């Protein structure tokens, strides 16, 4: 039994959730979600505004509890109040606005905030903080004030704050929405590295379709339901459904599809610049 528990990732079964607008009105935010995320998986969640992405994310670290159905985080049912803190420690969350997440006046104090709350020994905290900052490439800034950092650096500090709690999973709710192009890339590369090198499970919510290309698996939410799940290529190949939901195939994917549909003999599901360059050069040399 213990062995089985160890390998369980994050699971949602038949989850319904309603938000209370006022006393008389409730809105269905999750309408029967079934989802299984393996340990070590990098999952990107796409979906229009109001599709239930954030509500789902908050269920995965017990910030919200299902009205119906169950959520298990590494084998722990989120409805068990005795497990709430252990669940939040193992599945940490990073939010959109870095300025609302950083509380201390010095970077390392900010990162130490979580472990301090867990009552960890000061000596161990120092080690945890140093390791966490190193993992996000911010060790040189440990004595800096967070307020003078760029947006991407602030988000990396916020990620380090979660890492210092030694989580198995990080849930990021639109962490790149407010960043400039390099800040966005910094954050995406950082979480990809944490996933690949430390084996941390990543659940990344975004409106930027190109960020889906970092994922092992993309899931798409619409009106509270999970409507698609697959590799980036599989999901974006359903371009009609994608656009009906109000999402978009990334620009390079749109171009590949257009070229393919007008007769160019290339893979219509090509999504990245380098792959399309290779495809096109292969085609061009066939003369």
277 lies in the binding site for other proteins (CB under 8 A): yes
CB 100: neighbour CB atoms within 10 A? 9
**Which residues, including other chains, have CB under 8 Å from residue 82's CB and lie 6 or more apart?**
none
262 lies in the binding site for other proteins (CB under 8 A): yes
24 lies in the binding site for other proteins (CB under 8 A): no
**Using CB under 8 A as the criterion, what x/- string covers residues 85-114 for binding other proteins?**
-----------x------------------
CA dihedral over 238, 220, 277, 255, signed as positive or negative: positive
**Which residues, including other chains, have CB under 8 Å from residue 224's CB and lie 6 or more apart?**
28, 29, 30, 31, 32, 33, 51, 52, 55
**Two structure tokens written together for 243:** 């656009």
Contact between 218 and 205 under an 8 Å Cβ cutoff? The reply is: no
**Of residues 100 and 123, the one with the C-beta less far from other proteins:** 100
224 lies in the binding site for other proteins (CB under 8 A): no
CA dihedral over 53, 58, 61, 66, signed as positive or negative: negative
Stretches 58-66, 161-169, 193-201, 247-255: which one binds other proteins (CB under 8 A)?
247-255
d(CA 279, CA 287): 14
**Two structure tokens written together for 159:** 């990620």
Among 32, 40, 48, 137, binds other proteins (CB under 8 A): 48
**Of residues 48 and 69, the one with the C-beta less far from other proteins:** 48
Residue 195 CB, nearest approach to other proteins (Å): 23
Residues 188-207 that bind other proteins (CB under 8 A): 207
Contact between 165 and 176 under an 8 Å Cβ cutoff? The reply is: no
Among 80, 182, 196, 199, binds other proteins (CB under 8 A): 182
Stretches 12-20, 81-89, 104-112, 148-156: which one binds other proteins (CB under 8 A)?
148-156
Stretches 42-50, 60-68, 78-86, 190-198: which one binds other proteins (CB under 8 A)?
42-50
212 lies in the binding site for other proteins (CB under 8 A): no
157 lies in the binding site for other proteins (CB under 8 A): no
């Amino acid at each position: 039994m213990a062995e089985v528990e160890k390998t369980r990732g994050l699971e949602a079964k038949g989850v319904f959730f309603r938000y209370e607008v006022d006393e008389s009105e409730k809105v269905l935010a999750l309408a029967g979600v079934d989802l299984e995320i393996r340990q070590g998986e990098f999952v990107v969640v796409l979906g229009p505004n109001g599709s239930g992405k954030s509500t789902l994310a908050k269920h995965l670290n017990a910030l919200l509890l299902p009205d119906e159905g169950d959520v298990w985080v590494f084998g722990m049912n989120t409805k068990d109040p005795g497990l709430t803190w252990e669940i939040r420690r193992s599945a940490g969350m990073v939010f959109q606005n870095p300025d609302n997440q950083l509380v201390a006046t010095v970077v390392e104090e900010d990162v130490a905030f979580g472990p301090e709350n867990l009552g960890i020994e000061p000596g161990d905290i120092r080690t945890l903080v140093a390791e966490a900052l190193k993992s996000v490439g911010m060790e040189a800034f440990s004595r800096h004030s967070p307020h003078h950092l760029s947006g991407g650096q602030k988000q990396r500090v916020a990620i380090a704050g979660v890492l210092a709690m030694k989580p198995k999973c990080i849930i990021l709710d639109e962490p790149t929405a407010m960043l400039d192009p390099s800040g966005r890339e910094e954050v995406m590369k950082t979480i990809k590295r944490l996933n690949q090198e430390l084996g941390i499970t990543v659940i990344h919510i975004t409106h930027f379709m190109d960020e889906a290309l970092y994922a092992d698996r993309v899931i798409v939410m619409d009106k509270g339901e999970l409507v698609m799940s697959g590799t980036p290529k599989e999901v974006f190949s359903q371009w009609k459904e994608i656009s009906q939901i109000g999402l978009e195939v990334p620009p390079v994917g749109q171009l590949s599809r257009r070229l393919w549909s007008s007769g160019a003999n290339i893979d219509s599901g090509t999504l990245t610049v380098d792959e399309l360059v290779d495809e096109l050069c292969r085609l061009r040399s066939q003369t």
